[in-house]
Amino acid sequence: MNFLEYIWLIPMYPLTGAVLMLLFGRKLEHGHKNSVVSAICPGMVGIAFLHAVGAVIQLTSTPNHVFEKVMYVWVAGLPFHTSAGTLVRFQADFGYLLDPLSAVMVLVVTGVGFLIHVYSIGYMGHEGGFYRFFGYLNLFMFNMLTLVLANNYVLLFVGWEGVGLCSYLLIGFYFHKKSASDAGKKAFVVNRIGDAAFILGMFYIFATFGTVNFQHVTEAAREGGIVAPFFLMTLLLFIGATGKSAQIPLYVWLPDAMEGPTPVSALIHAATMVTAGVYMVARSNALFQLAPTTMNIVAAIGAATAIFAASIGLVQNDIKRVLAYSTVSQLGYMFLACGVGAFWVGIFHVQTHAFFKALLFLGSGSVIHAMSGEQDMRKMGALRSKIPWTFGTMAVGWIAISGIPPLAGFWSKDEILWQTYSSPLGSKLLYGIGLLTAGMTAFYMSRLMFMTFFGKSRVSHEAEHHLHESPMVMVGPLAALAVLSAVGGLWFKQLEQWLEPVFEPVKGIVHNEATASGQIEYILMGVSIGVAAAGIALAYHFFVAKPETADNLEASLKPIHTLLLNKYYVDEVYSAVFVDGPVMGKQLGSALSKFDAVVVDGGVNGAGWVTRGTSTLSMLWDSWVIDGAVRALGFFTKVLSFPMRMIQTGFVQNYALVIVLGVIVLGYYFIR
């Protein structure tokens, strides 16, 4: 079977699952047929994964490793002139592109997605709304696959919006809880801000290149010689990416998104959706390369976000919150990599991060499941003997994220640090920030592990009775992800070669090669390992060896601790400025909504009213004037005929009289 030709089926499998859930889910739920749901939805993702594997294998045998298939032309517009003066038509296809970059993404999305679906069978088994969860999850897979397989910005944006919607639906899955529904709303609204910027960026792209197709834009940009506001264009795209991938300033939704079920956090907010921003930036690498200022901004924001989120994660007590801030921090690393020009490294980190972050989230879900819903780490401890499989797999993820070789996280994170140090777009300052963040990452992850699995047990008595290892259906994916986290970094050389054609340098930009020598690279490698080990050791000291020191430090640095615990009060500031604030807040929103209701809707209603009015006039004209004319004819006939009728009396002598009168007249006429 030609997997490539049928590439459009890959998103369709999970869509089928979602539609089936939409149509039949309720009945299945009532019939207690959870097994059917469990078979359909993960099954669909599994089939999508197999298909994707087949397609990628077939891709390796195509020339240039590029396969594009346009299903049909979705939007076709009228011709107009670009800023360069050429005549173009807007055309957005419903088309799929499989090249090295999207191949990596599709394999990660379907593979990790499949494992998470399987895990969810066990995790969500006792919840209500089983079919709804899987329906939304499949819908998410559909949208994500559309996003990564799209061949143009518009279709990508369709998937972009779709995953935003599914994120909202899944964060607010427990919609009875106000905090959950609020979190869902927050995610959607913050995302929207980024989307607005993304759309503006797309307009710039079209105005400059006359097309939104990835291949064409990239080729045109690589050709060079185009004068366009690349800075603004790429800045707008990047703002869109910050919304979706939770960077400063639009990251605030991601910690709140932990209100959703843990598999959701694993899939959407660790492995796949949040990486969509990175994917989009990598896809537009030709444009970014033409705007060095934006690259600097990207790297700076990436680094700032990384250290900022890591610092918050140091003191959080909710196990999922730590992981959430960790995700934000790691996403900062990915953008740092893209910002210094090492796009393939950013994608590499996407892949490794997907493995170990999904593993850590699912593991934490297993912990929470064992703790009967308890998420506060201060109430955990010494769990490693109780839930050994969970501990073992999470330990692999912990080592991976800390950057200890030869696990996956080491290869990607180290490469990022090396590129930051050596690339002409990087700087020592950025390297320093990255290094410090790596240390903090190791520290807080170790803190998490030690507080949860080591030390003295602080578990409450009721929870202790229910402590049990998770079922096989949950542990299986954990084990699979652990294996992937262990070996997932070893193919970095092949990955770099595989992704090379996608990230070709653009003509006209001077690219200096890495200015440092190979020796420095190994030195830096050693430094990063040392920093990671130092972080782990520090955490061990604070949380296992001498737990009192942690409390003493906390007491002495109370203000800093409070600041970090309250996330730098960013949410409060946003709320004060944008929600309740005098200019940007609710007043503006309600004013705009009034404007919409009165002016815009009024305009529309007015159009309807005008139509009604003119048609009423028309009706009046028709019924009075035109029908009146017709009826007048009849009326006049009646009026005229009335005297005429009287002539016919039936009285023959009258007729005789008329004859005589006629004779008189005619006689006079003829014989005068």
Partner 1 sequence: MISITHYLFLSTALLTIGVVGVLTRRNMVIILMSVELILNAVNINLVAFSHYWGGVHGQVFAIFIIADAAAEVAVGLGLLIALFRNKEVVNADQVDLLKW
Partner 2 sequence: MLDQIFFYLFATVILASAILCVTARNAVHSAIFLIGTLLGVAGLYLLLTAEFLAGVQVILYVGGIMVLFLFVIMLVNIDQSLRENIFSHQWRVGMGAVVLLAAELGWFVTKGGVSMPARTPDTTSQLGNVQQVGDVIFQSYLLPFEIASILLLVAMVGAVVLAKKRI
Binding footprint of partner 2 on the chain (CB under 8 A):
651, 653-654, 657, 660-661, 663-664, 667-668, 671
Report which secondary-structure segment, H or E, holds 436. helix 428-453
Q: Which residue has the tokens 């080729």?
A: 219
Where are any strands of DSSP class E within 260-378? none
Q: Nearer Cβ to partner 1, position 651 or 670?
A: 651
Angstrom distance (rounded) from CA 402 to CA 488: 15
Least distance from partner 1 to the Cβ atom of residue 650, Å? 3
The distance of closest approach from Cβ of residue 656 to partner 2 in the complex, given in angstroms and rounded to an integer, is 8
Q: How far apart are the C-alpha atoms of 400 and 409, rounded to whole Å?
A: 5
Residues in contact with partner 1 by CB under 8 A are: 648-653, 655-657, 660
The sign of the dihedral angle between the CA atoms of 103, 108, 109, 111 is: positive
What Cα–Cα distance (Å) separates residue 86 from each residue in 81, 206, 208, 218, 231? 5, 12, 10, 17, 22
Of the two residues 573 and 640, which places its CB atom closer to partner 1 in the complex? 640
* Burial class of residue 466 in the structure, from the number of CB atoms within 10 Å of its CB (0-12 exposed, 13-18 middle, 19+ buried): exposed
CB atoms under 10 Å from CB of 427, counted, come to 17
Q: Given the complex with partner 1, which of 75 and 663 has the nearer CB atom? A: 663
Q: Which does 661 bind (CB under 5 to 8 A by kind): partner 2, partner 1, none?
A: partner 2
Give the nearest distance from C-beta 651 to partner 1 in angstroms.
Answer: 5
CA distance 531 to 626: 94
The minimum distance between CB 641 and partner 2, in angstroms, equals 23
Contact 568, 310 (CB under 8 A): no
- Of the two residues 602 and 667, which places its CB atom closer to partner 2 in the complex? 667
> What's the closest the beta carbon of residue 654 comes to partner 1, in angstroms?
9
671 binds, among partner 1, partner 2, none (CB under 5 to 8 A by kind): partner 2
Choose from partner 2, partner 1, none: what does 650 bind? Cβ within 5-8 Å by kind. Answer: partner 1
Angle, helices 388-402 vs 428-453, to 10°: value is 170
655 touches which of partner 2, partner 1, none (CB within 5 to 8 A by kind)? partner 1
**Residue 340 DSSP SS3:** coil
Q: How far is the CB of 650 from partner 2 (least distance, A)?
A: 13
Q: Which is nearer to partner 2, 600 or 660 (CB)?
A: 660
User: Which does residue 625 bind out of partner 1, partner 2, none, counting CB within 5 to 8 angstroms by kind?
Assistant: none
User: What is the three-class DSSP state of 245?
Assistant: coil
Give the nearer residue to partner 1 in terms of CB position, either 510 or 647.
Answer: 647
Residue 664 interacting entry, from partner 2, partner 1, none, C-beta within 5 to 8 Å by type = partner 2
For residue 419, give Cα distances in angstroms to 319, 334, 340, 516. Answer: 32, 12, 7, 10
| C-alpha span between 433 and 453 (Å, rounded) | 30
| C-alpha distances out from residue 311 to 192, 322, 428, 563, 623, Å | 27, 10, 20, 10, 79
Q: Both ends of the chain: CA-CA distance in Å?
A: 114
629 binds, among partner 1, partner 2, none (CB under 5 to 8 A by kind): none
Q: Which is nearer to partner 1, 617 or 658 (CB)?
A: 658
Least distance between partner 2 and beta carbon 668 (Å): 6
Residue 668 touches which member of partner 1, partner 2, none, C-beta under 5-8 Å by kind = partner 2
CB of 617 to partner 2, least distance (A): 55
Which residue, 73 or 656, has its beta carbon nearer to partner 1?
A: 656
